[in-house]
Structures are given as C-alpha cells and as structure tokens.
Amino acid sequence: MALKSQRPPSAPSVDSEWSLTGRSSRAQDVRSQLLEQKLKDLDEELVRERRIGVAMREVGLALGTTLDLDELLNLILAKITDAVEADRATLYLLDGKGELVSRVMQGGQSRQLRLKVGQGIAGAVAQTSKTLLVNDPYNDPRFNPAPDLAFNYRTRSILAVPMKNHLGRTIGVVQVLNKKTGPFNDHDAITLAALSTQASIAIDNSRLFLSVTQKNAELLDIKEQLEHRVRDLKLLFDLESAMGRATSLEELFTGVLTEALRTSGATAAAFAMKAGEGIQLYMMFSGDEKLHRHPLRAGQGLAGAAIADGDVIFTNEPTTHPAYEPETDDLLGQKLRGCIAVPLEGEDGDAMGAIALYNKARIPGSSPRLGLGAPREDEFNEEDRALLLLIAANASTAIRLQMAREQREREERLTSIGRLMSGVIHDLKTPLTVISGYVQMMKIADKRPLRDEYAELALKQFEHIGSMMRDVLEFARGERNLLVRKVYLNKFFGTEVREQLTTQLAKSGVELVVDVQDKGTAKFDEGKILRVVHNLARNAAEAMGDKGGKFTIKVTRSKPRKKGAVPELVVSFSDTGPGIPKEIEHRLFQSFVTSGKKGGTGLGLAITARIAEEHGGSIGVKSSPKGVTFTLRLPQPKDEK
C-alpha cells in the first residue's frame, strides 16, 4: 500500500493578520459607540423621569398646600412648563356654557383666553378626548394662527392632552407650545398626560372644596336668616304678650320699650307722642323699669324731627344732625352717640308719634372705627334699624287701638254718669210722691198726734232717699256695704211695705196684695231690700200700664234644698202684665238694659241683682204673656224663725 505524503499547513501571511485585527477593532468601536449612545439615552431618560418625578411630587405637594383654584392652576402650569421644557403652557377648562376657558402661562405671567369646543388644536382635543402632537402647526388646518398674530408669537410645535376626571369625563385640555430643545415627542406626551392626570385630581379636589365651602357659606347664611326670623318671631310674640297685658297707654309704652331695649342693646328708648301743640316724651333706660315723662316742643330733638318729617332718622353722629339739641344729653344723662327714630303712623296716615333708640351699649374692649363704613360694636347698624321698624309697625297698631279704647271708655263713662243721674232722678219719684201725700195729709189733719205720725213717715222717706242715693253711688263705684240686722217680717212687709206701696200703686190702678205666710224674723239690710221692693213694684206698675192689674208680694221660708244648706227667705213679686220681651229676657239683670219704656234707665233690676248677691242670695224670673214673677231668695240661719 503506497502512502501519500502530507504537506504541512502553510502559516498565515502578515497581511491577513492585519486585516482580521482591523475588522475586530472596528466592531469594538461600533459596540462602544452603541453603548455610549445607549448610556446617553438612559441618562436622558433618567433625567427626564427624574424631572417627571420631581414635577409629580411638587404638584402632589401643591395639592396639600392650597385649595384655591386660581393659585393651584398657576402652580400646575409652572410645573408643566418646567417638566416638558416648553416655552408656553395653556390650561383650558370647560365652563358651564360648554366653552374652553384658558389660563396661559408665559414668562411667569398668567393670562386668560376663551375658545369654543372644536376650535383650534385644544378645541379638537376637547371634542375627541385624544392627545394631539403637531410639529408643523402652520400646515395643520385645525391650527388657528390668530393668537400668534395677536401676541407677536411663532408656534413651532404643539402638544395637547385631554384632562379627565375620576369619571373619565373630559373637563379640560393641557396644551404646551415650542419645546426649547426641539420638537415634542412621545415621551413628552406621556409626561404631559401624567401631569394632566394630577392636574385633573387637583382641580376636582379644589372644585369639591369650593363647592363644600360655598354650600357651607349658604348654610351659614340660611342659619343666620333663620336666626333672624326666629328672633323677629320671638320679638313679635313678646310684643304681643306685653301689649296684650297693657290696660293703659303707659303700660303699653312700658312693655314695648322694655322689649326694644332688650333686643337692641340700646341704653335708652322712648316714645314721643303728639300732645296738643307739643310732644310728650315717655323714656325708659336699660335696667330701669320706671317710665320717665318729659314735655317737648313740637319738632324738638331727633324724635320730634321724625314726627314732623314722617321719615326715619338713623345716625351714629347725632351731634352733626340739624335736629340735634344738647337737651337730649341732659335727658339721657350722657352724651348722645347714636340714635334711630321711626315715626308711628296714625289713623289719618300722618305721624302720631315716634319711637326712638338712643346710644347702643358700649362693649368692654370695643375699639374705634378702623375704616370708613366699618361700624363699631357700640354703634347702631342696619339690623337695629330693621328691628325698630318691625317694633314700630306693631306698636303703632296697638297704640291706635288702645287710644280708641280709652276714648270709648271715656265716652261710655260720661254716658254712664248721665244714666246714673237719670236713674237717681227717676228713682226719687216714688219717695217724693209718698212725701207729697203725707205732707198733704198733715195739712188737713186737725190733731197733733196724727200730724206727728205723718211727719215721721215723711222723714222715713227722706232716709229712704238717702239710702237710694248711696246705693246708686256704691253701685257705680263697685262697692258693697250691708247693714244686716234682725227684721220682723210681718211688720216690715205687712205694715211698712203695704203702707208705702198702697198709695203709690193705687194711682196706677194696680191692686196690691201682700201675703206674709212666714211671720217670724229674718236678717237682711232693711233699706236695701226696701229698695228692691220699690224697684220691682214700680217696674210692675209701668209694665201693666193704664189698664192696671194686680201686684202680689208673697213671703215664705223654704226648707234646705240639699244637705248642709240653710233655709232661705223666699219673697216673690208677681204682676199681671204682658210679660218680658224675649229680646231682653236673657240679659235682664245687666246694667242699662231697658225694654224701651220712656224714662227707663235700665239700672233698677241691675241694682236689685247686686243687692241679692250682696246678701249671698239670688233673684230669678219667670215670664209669660199673663204676667211676670220675680223670686228673691235670701239665705237664713236655721235658728231664725
């Protein structure tokens, strides 16, 4: 077998070695360059991320430092401008009209712009809720160059992102212009989107805070209004209570002024009322329940001027007012510092007086006025003015009613006095008639003992006249004065009453019947019961008229009507007249009630009822077309017969 010889491999040439070495070196250079570029990119990205992180942190910190929307938007715009290295940043917010209202940040200054949705780049973003990156805006049909022309500016690139709230609803747009290091890129879009999210959160929080603050302010206003309403209602209630308790004008003044001082904090208050040609001032001081009276001239002082002019006077510098008079200081006992005077409307529409507040109470530590229009705590304000107007409106009505009531009472008092005089004159007819009869009988009597008897009977009638006058005066004054003593019933009714009434009733054609069934004794005021008898007899004679009739007096004693009661003396008075008219039957025993008879005063039966009540008894009446019966009941102790 033949063997082939092998030639050893040849060694590489020098040129070949240098070629390999060159290629390796170039590859290393490329890798080195790539690594350097990658490191550079990473450094830039790190710087960018750090800048974004710083911006996010600063925006987050800003959320905790302020909730004022304007301040917050300015701060956010400044951070966005720094974060994306923009020359200008604009933040648009959608308003209630659906328009974009912008806040532009340029050179550290903030300006406002308005833009419709769909108009311009920002309007397109608001309409589509999508990010727009435009690096050649002048060739974009959506771009509006008008702002550039207006502000002498050149827009090279635009980045705009939508701002969305927590519900995903677009609430605005953040737009940046002209990046300082070149055109905007996707990294800038990511950065701006992140910051816009923070801005959305900030705006939502601020709006929520402002909404809550506004609601709280509204609630405070409503609370204050309700407190004022409650205060006014309480004042009206207290005024009505005070005025309702008043029985005179001065009591009414005292009640109203007390409430006015309490609610206003004034040191003094007064009513100034017209009185003839002048004014009567009724003044009260805080802490003093006494009503002080001072006469004034017409138009004198601030209250007098309010009456004369019919206008409200409100001043915290009263010494400069034309109506100011130093005498007011003397009345107050101090320098007049402030006054509110409100006229009181009278029946004819003119002022019948005025109500005034003087000198709001000084509060310890209160300072002088710090600026124009800022009232001190010890000065009257519009709230005090409104308060006094409310008091005046209610007080004027009450004063007019009280004045009318007092005038009516004066007229009624005069009328009552006239009726009382008429009643006295009318009631004198009976005893005067009896006296006249006895005097005539004395004239014709030829024996001295008979004349003496007639004289004694006449003197008794004079005593009766005196008793009648006392009864009327006591009735008018509301007094009660009884002279109760033991009376023999047969002598009183069977003799004295019979003798006095027989002649009187005979002239009217009336037959008198006296039936004394109980001939014992009883206790009563003889003079007053005699007055009752004469009143009822006279009324019966007048009721029966010229036709005459019968008048019957029946005296009995009743047994106790219930256990523990005492016996009663029962005296009935019956006539055969036409009865009592239905229209006055239910108020027969009231004062001044008559049935239309000529010369009637309406006092007889009222006095009769008063006498019965004074004795602890009663008087009743039964009426029919055939006559009337009055029944007088007088309680009597059991041991009296």
Average pLDDT of 149-156?
Answer: 87
HSE-CB at 550 with a 13 A cutoff on CA atoms is: 7
pLDDT band of 324, cuts 50, 70, 90: very high
What percent of the chain is predicted at pLDDT more than 90? 25
Residue-wise pLDDT for 404-414, tens only, equals: 888 887 777 66
Most confident range (mean pLDDT) of 347-356, 464-473, 581-590 is 347-356
Residue-wise pLDDT for 521-555, tens only, equals: 999 998 889 889 988 998 898 888 888 899 999 99
The per-residue pLDDT for 33 is 83
Residue-wise pLDDT for 600-613, tens only, equals: 556 678 888 888 99
374 pLDDT higher than 80: no
pLDDT band of 340, cuts 50, 70, 90: very high
Higher pLDDT, 14 or 281: 281
Burial class (CB in 10 A: 0-12, 13-18, 19+), 414: exposed
Higher pLDDT, 183 or 469: 183
Which stretches does DSSP call E strand in 132-232?
132-134, 158-164, 170-179
pTM of the entire structure? Answer: 0.46
What is the distance between the terminal CA atoms of the chain, rounded to a whole angstrom?
Answer: 196
Higher pLDDT, 103 or 559: 559
φ, ψ at 506 (rounded to 5°): -60, -35
CA gap 312, 620 in Å, rounded: 61
Domain 482-635 fold = Heat Shock Protein 90 (3.30.565)
Task: Name the 3-class secondary structure at 561.
Answer: coil
Higher pLDDT, 579 or 108: 579
φ, ψ at 275 (rounded to 5°): -145, 95
The per-residue pLDDT for 205 is 77
CA gap 472, 105 in Å, rounded: 102
Locate CATH 3.30.450.40 in the chain.
Answer: 49-212, 246-362+379-405
Residue-wise pLDDT for 487-527, tens only, equals: 999 999 999 899 888 877 888 889 999 999 999 999 999 88
Closest of 452, 428, 429, 427 to residue 441, by C-alpha:
452
CA gap 252, 272 in Å, rounded: 13
Residue-wise pLDDT for 11-22, tens only, equals: 555 555 556 566
The per-residue pLDDT for 2 is 44
Tell me the CATH class for 246-362+379-405.
Answer: alpha beta
Torsion of CA 30, 36, 42, 44, to 10 degrees: -120
* Cross-sheet strand order for the sheet of 627-635: 510-516, 549-558, 568-575, 627-635, 618-624
The continuous run of DSSP H or E covering 115 comes out as: strand 109-116
Region of 413 on the Ramachandran plot (φ > 0 left; ψ -120 to 50 alpha; else beta): alpha
CA gap 121, 175 in Å, rounded: 9
CA gap 402, 399 in Å, rounded: 5
Task: Name the 3-class secondary structure at 9.
Answer: coil
The per-residue pLDDT for 364 is 47
Most confident range (mean pLDDT) of 73-77, 105-109, 498-502 is 498-502
Tell me the CATH class for 49-212.
Answer: alpha beta
Average pLDDT of 258-281?
Answer: 89
Locate CATH 3.30.565.10 in the chain.
Answer: 482-635
CA gap 606, 587 in Å, rounded: 10
Angle subtended by helix axes 186-245 and 14-65, to nearest 10? 10
Torsion of CA 438, 442, 443, 445, to 10 degrees: 130
* Biggest CA pair distance of the chain: 226
Closest of 118, 123, 42, 51 to residue 86, by C-alpha:
51
Strand partners, 280: 273, 295
Residue type, 252: L
373 pLDDT higher than 70: no
HSE-CB at 591 with a 13 A cutoff on CA atoms is: 14
Residue-wise pLDDT for 559-583, tens only, equals: 876 777 788 999 999 999 998 888 7
Residue type, 220: L
Count CB atoms within 10 A of the CB of residue 230.
10
The per-residue pLDDT for 45 is 76
Strand partners, 342: 355
